[in-house]
Structures are given as C-alpha cells and as structure tokens.
C-alpha cells in the first residue's frame, strides 16, 4: 500500500494522544492488515476477527434500520476494542486499557479513522489509475499468422464406394 508510512504515522500520533491505547491497526474490510502498531497481539488474527465482527455489525445495523456502519465497541474485563469505518475499504481497530476515557477514545478514533480513510482511499485511487494507464500502454508483440488450413477430400476407410459413404442428411 502506498499510504502505509502516512497511516503508520497517524497510528503513532493516535497512540501518543491516548496513552491508554495498547495497540492500533488498520485492516481492509476483507481482513488483511494494511498497517499496524499493536505489539503483543497477532495483527493478522485481529484483522481477520475485525472483518468478521464488521460483517456482523453491518448486518445488525442494517436489520435494525440504523444505517451504514460507523463504529463498534467491545468491552472486556481488561479493556476495550473499538473499530471505526475508515473510508470505503478499510477499518481502524483500537485496543485500549480498561481505564481509558471512552469519550476521548471515540473522539480521537473518529478523527483518526477519517484521516486514515482519506489516505487509504487516495492510495487506492492512485493504484487504480496506474493500473488503467498500464492497461492502455500498447505492448509490442510480434504475431505470426497461423498457417492456413485447407480441406481435403477424404477417402472412405473401407473399400466401399464413395456413393455408399453418404450421410443421412444428404438424401
């Protein structure tokens, strides 16, 4: 991803603004890690679980008429997992201690997810534009024309005469 350094910078700034954050990662909605600053956890596993939780949260929001997915908060004994939509194709997942100010977590998480969404979406647009330019560049290939084939009359395999070799559609 072209935007990875900028996304990592945003994750580090976020962790400095909220000292109770224990980890932060950005994943695609498919569950692939795009960037992470989450020591002590397996980022690929968290990204995959985030994608699964995102699918359930989106269906729940839709089924209850709450509109498009915005965020998901899970509270455990030892802390919080907060997931925010980040553009069209990514999510931001934050891991925080149980003593975090949840209002501050949401405020900073929403701001960061907006910025990260812009970075990821811009990178996706640049990648798409580069691919379309590459597709338009003609490649130089030498083509050989295939040898022309001509039909030749077959002789019957058995010693029967050509008149006996007629098909039923010819009569």
Residue-wise pLDDT tens digits, 127-157: 777 666 666 655 555 555 555 555 555 555 5
- Which pTM value belongs to this model? 0.74
Kindly report, residue by residue over 26-38, the tens digit of the pLDDT: 999 999 999 999 9
**What is the CATH code for 4-130?**
3.30.450.30
Q: What is 27-58 written as a DSSP string?
A: EETTS-EEEEE-TTS-HHHHHHHHHHHHHHHH
SS3 60: helix
């Amino acid at each position: 991803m072209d935007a990875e350094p900028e996304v990592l910078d945003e994750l580090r700034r976020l962790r400095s603004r909220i000292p109770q954050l224990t980890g932060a990662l950005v994943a695609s909605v498919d569950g692939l890690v795009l960037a992470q600053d989450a020591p002590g956890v397996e980022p690929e596993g968290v990204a995959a679980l985030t994608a699964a939780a995102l699918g359930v949260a989106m269906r729940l929001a839709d089924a209850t008429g709450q509109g498009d997915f915005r965020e998901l908060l899970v509270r455990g004994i030892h802390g919080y997992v907060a997931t925010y939509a980040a553009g069209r194709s990514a999510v931001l997942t934050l891991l925080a201690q149980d003593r975090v100010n949840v209002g501050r977590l949401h405020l900073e998480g929403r701001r960061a997810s907006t910025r990260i969404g812009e970075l990821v979406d811009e990178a996706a647009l640049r990648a798409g534009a580069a691919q379309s330019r590459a597709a338009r560049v003609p490649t130089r290939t030498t083509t050989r024309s295939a040898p022309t084939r001509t039909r030749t009359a077959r002789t019957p395999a058995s010693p029967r005469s050509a008149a006996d070799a007629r098909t039923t559609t010819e009569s």
